[in-house]
Amino acid sequence: MSRELFKFKGGVHPPEHKAESTSRPIHAAPLPKKLVIPLRQHIGNPAKPVVEVGERVLKGQMIAAADGYISTAVHASSSGTVVAIDLQAVPHISGLPDLCITIETDGRDEWVAHAPLDYQAMEPSQLRMQLRDLGLAGLGGAVFPSAVKLDPGASHVCSTLIINGGECEPWITCDDMLMRHHADEILQGVAIMRHLLGSTDILVGIEDNKPEALDSMRSAAAKLDFAVEVVKVPARYPGGGAKQMIETLTGKQVPSGKLSTDIGIQVFNVGTSYALARAIHHGEPLISRLVTVTGHVLRPQNFEVLIGTPMHTLITLAGDRDGTTGVLMGGPMMGVPVPNLDVPVIKATNCILVKSKELFPPLPKALPCIRCTRCADACPAELQPQELFRFAKAGDFGRAQEYHLFDCIECGCCSYVCPSHIPLVDFYRYAKGEIWAREKDKRAADLARERHEFRQFRQEREKKEKAEKLAAKAQAKRAELAAAPAAEGAAVSDADAKKALIAAALARAQAKKSDAAPKNVDQLTPEQLHQIEEIEARRTKIRELARKPLESEEKKP
């Protein structure tokens, strides 16, 4: 099988460091005493807890449900008791805690009732809902809910399905190991994707530095009853990025600001495909994944890890060494430093990379940008990183957007080649964050303006309505009064009518007052009655006093 391959622009060749962790077989990490399962592991709305503290949960039981369309469920990775639903440290660059469900495991690892799904007999939308409830999300790094990606929509035709086995980032080998050992199951997942998307062209892209994975996938693909082309692509970072993989395999470029589905292509990671096969053919939700533990450890290798396992247990298993200078979640190019080692493994954790001074010498201090444009040559998104850096640094975010800041995939090629060692990607992340924050502020301001304007409109309307009502009432009264004297044949002036109105209103008020009897004067002792009489007498006296000056004033004119 030979296929014409295309070349994406830019890219770099960092040292691969893959052999370290592929020499040992996959081990299942032991069950930890405590599982900390974050509710925000995927893109979209965080899952909503459906269990309570103190509740016993079984392995695979849904503990938090998807909230909205772009969201996915979260499950208990083992049986035990929910001991807390609170803020816990999570693997995020900010080091801020997030809402997690903590489960104290009972060691029995007791499964909830689960059964395979007959996906061919199911309604596609119903199947997607099931996948959402099984917690499926993209395991390549973005953790986008898979159920959403498996919806071809009304107008889109996903004729091409690409299974991404690129794994271009140095040190990481979990996809490689998965393809070596679970090729059949990965392709079972592909069959389900094909069923949902109606794809006719199915390609598996694997970089040429993984010959074992290529062989294993090719022999598995040969056994299938539909055509899957396993393509060897040249290893070049970031060749495993979705957009780069699409370009390498098809020669098509995803237009700026568009999705790959707009050009009829959908891309899934091999890990996602494997998880999909486990979900459909075994009814198992996404509760574990392969994690590469490598770098400055004694035995770099891949583990099958339950989601929620603390990272330090994995590093201990792989043999921790002295001289650790930090831990990254992910690879050296795009990985994020973890704030502490108690943070759990989440759906996005493909690698735990332990750093040391020898393997990752600290970067020299940055020098000013000399505009050598080496970054522009390396940028796979065909951007002008030196310009983006200038605008981001100066806070000129509008210009940064004009230079297609949002096409940046944050792959880190520019920082890697920069002779001045400027952390360029950090500037782009900062600029993106600022732009999002400003858009959010703008939306909030628009909402406030709208509500304020509506409030003013409402107050105006209420005032008008009240005035109209009063006017109508006065008109009716006047007409009524005018009718009575008219019968007597006397013309009534406006002033007289007004006086009559006031007199009538006063009479009504008096009548109302006398009607309202005090409620607490039944069954009183003579003493109390006497007190009341005294008070009443005082009141009449005061009233008389109050009326006197008024009367004297009336006499004057």
Per CB under 8 A, 454 contacts other proteins: yes
Q: Which residue lies nearer to other proteins by CB, 171 or 428?
A: 428
Site string for other proteins, 72-101 (x = CB under 8 A): ------------------x-x-x-xxx---
Per CB under 8 A, 486 contacts other proteins: no
Per CB under 8 A, 520 contacts other proteins: no
From the list 242-250, 316-324, 347-355, 366-374, the region that binds other proteins by CB under 8 A is: 366-374
In the complex, minimum distance from the CB of residue 369 to other proteins, in angstroms, rounded to a whole number: 10
From the list 222-230, 234-242, 446-454, 469-477, the region that binds other proteins by CB under 8 A is: 446-454
Q: Which of 151, 149, 145 is nearest to 163 (CA)?
A: 149
**Which member of 7, 33, 455, 466 binds other proteins (CB under 8 A)?**
455
**Residue 391 corresponds to which tokens in the numbers above?**
């605008």
Per CB under 8 A, 474 contacts other proteins: no
- What span, in angstroms and rounded, lies between the C-alpha atoms of 36 and 80? 12
Q: Which residue lies nearer to other proteins by CB, 273 or 349?
A: 349
Per CB under 8 A, 68 contacts other proteins: no
Pairing relation of β-strands 34-38 and 265-269? unpaired
Helices (H), 109-166: 124-133, 146-149
How many residues bind other proteins (CB under 8 A)? The answer is: 35
Q: Which residue lies nearer to other proteins by CB, 6 or 454?
A: 454
Per CB under 8 A, 419 contacts other proteins: no
367-406 residues near other proteins, rule: CB under 8 A:
367-368
28-47 residues near other proteins, rule: CB under 8 A:
40
Distances (CA, A) of 268 to 44, 255, 280, 488, 513: 18, 19, 16, 96, 81
> Residue 404: which residues within 8 A CB-CB, separation 6 or more?
256, 381, 383
Q: Are 239 and 165 within 8 A, CB to CB? A: no
> Residue 282: which residues within 8 A CB-CB, separation 6 or more?
114, 116
Distances (CA, A) of 372 to 383, 410, 508: 14, 20, 92
φ, ψ of residue 304 in degrees (nearest 5): -90, 110
Q: Are 266 and 160 within 8 A, CB to CB? A: yes
In the complex, minimum distance from the CB of residue 137 to other proteins, in angstroms, rounded to a whole number: 17
- What span, in angstroms and rounded, lies between the C-alpha atoms of 213 and 192? 21
Per CB under 8 A, 362 contacts other proteins: no
DSSP letter (8 states) at residue 264? T
Helices (H), 200-355: 211-222, 242-250, 270-282, 311-318
Per CB under 8 A, 556 contacts other proteins: no
From the list 223-231, 244-252, 440-448, 478-486, the region that binds other proteins by CB under 8 A is: 440-448
From the list 131-139, 448-456, 479-487, 531-539, the region that binds other proteins by CB under 8 A is: 448-456
Residues of this chain that bind other proteins (CB under 8 A)? 40, 90, 92, 94, 96-98, 364-368, 422-423, 426-427, 429-430, 432-434, 436-437, 441, 444-449, 451-455
